[in-house]
Structure 1
């Protein structure tokens, strides 16, 4: 299960499960990187 993602901007996002990670990453993208959107598969591909 992938629960961590390091954004190129330096933000380190961690969650307890993949569903939470996808939600947190999508919220981070909306707040910090408007116009950047990734689907679940892309987020999990980049996560560890």
Structure 2
């Protein structure tokens, strides 16, 4: 299960599970990187 992701901006995002990680990553993108939207599969592809 992947629960961590490093955004290129330097932010480290950690979730309790994959669903939580995807939710937190999408919220981070919406707040900090408007116009950059990624699907669940895309987020989990770069997560570890």
Moved over 2 A (4+): none
Aligned Cα root-mean-square deviation (Å): 0.2
The answer to whether residue 11 in structure 2 is matched with residue 11 in structure 1 is yes
TM (norm. structure 1) is 0.99
Aligned length: 48
Unaligned runs of 5+ in 1: none
TM (norm. structure 2) is 0.99
